[in-house]
């Protein structure tokens, strides 16, 4: 069993997700008290995939997050650097074009995708700014990015309760349902150390994205950031 540290060495993060791949979707459902399904619906609305469009779903894991885009008629490419996750995903969705790739050096040409999206994976990439630049590079002019990521509750008392849950309640719950509970200790630590909503918006602008905006879900536990590539 492996767990990554906050320096986020790629091989450690990939190995950690390989270990949890089989039960990852179930574990997330339990730990988020079912909220992850609502968050996925909000991402699908924000991406607004259309028939014939090309969508990159980065850090797609087993491609649970990719299904709404495929159902909308888009050509969706689930991309992840955990081969274990990709294997489980391919077993479940054999028709999808699963692609192994590093978020800091994507294996795609410039200006390919109408929309790029990443849900709960950006904070696991070692170089956030480089990942945002790569997403920009592979997006068509006029295309859009949607990032769903754990963030920081905006109401102080709720933020305190939430952080207590992350560090105290989450590990024992993970021990009950996950094949690698130590991985969820890393995930809790990575959430606490992640930039807040305005800071991530600033990183998006720095990477070249325009019309950057965000909205909070579940009181700021999750933030949905959006941006566009200049036409």
Name the one residue in this structure whose structure tokens are 């996750």.
85
Q: Determine the Cα–Cα distance for residues 144 and 74; give it in Å rounded to an integer.
A: 14
DSSP, collapsed to helix, strand or coil, labels residue 119 as: strand
Please, what is the Cα angle at 39 between 36 and 44, to 5 degrees?
125
Q: Determine the Cα–Cα distance for residues 66 and 151; give it in Å rounded to an integer.
A: 22
Q: Which residues are annotated as a binding site for S-adenosyl-L-methionine?
A: 62, 80, 102-103, 119
Q: CA nearest 136: which of 58, 70, 79?
A: 58
Q: Determine the Cα–Cα distance for residues 13 and 186; give it in Å rounded to an integer.
A: 10
Q: Which residues are annotated as a binding site?
A: 62, 80, 102-103, 119
Cβ neighbours of residue 216 under 8 Å, at least 6 residues apart?
151, 154, 197, 222, 223, 224
């Amino acid at each position: 069993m492996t767990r990554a540290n906050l320096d986020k060495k790629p091989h450690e993060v990939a190995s950690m997700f390989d270990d949890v791949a089989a039960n990852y979707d179930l574990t997330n459902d339990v730990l988020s008290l079912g909220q992850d399904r609502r968050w996925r619906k909000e991402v699908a609305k924000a991406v607004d995939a259309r028939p014939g469009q090309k969508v990159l779903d980065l850090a797609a894991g087993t491609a649970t997050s990719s299904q709404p885009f495929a159902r909308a008629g888009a050509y969706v490419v689930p991309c992840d650097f955990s081969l274990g996750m990709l294997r489980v995903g391919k077993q479940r969705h054999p028709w999808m074009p699963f692609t192994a790739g590093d978020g800091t050096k994507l294996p795609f040409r410039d200006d390919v995708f109408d929309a790029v999206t990443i849900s709960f994976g950006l904070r696991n990439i070692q170089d956030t700014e480089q990942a945002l630049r790569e997403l920009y590079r592979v997006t068509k002019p006029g295309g859009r990015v949607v990032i769903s990521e754990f963030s920081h509750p905006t109401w102080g008392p709720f933020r305190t309760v939430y952080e207590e849950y992350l560090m105290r309640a989450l590990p024992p719950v993970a021990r009950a349902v996950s094949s690698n509970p130590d991985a969820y200790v890393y995930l809790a630590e990575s959430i606490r150390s992640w930039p807040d909503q305005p800071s991530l918006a600033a990183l998006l602008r720095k990477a070249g994205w325009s019309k950057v905006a965000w909205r909070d879900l579940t009181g700021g536990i999750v933030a949905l950031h959006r941006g566009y590539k200049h036409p």
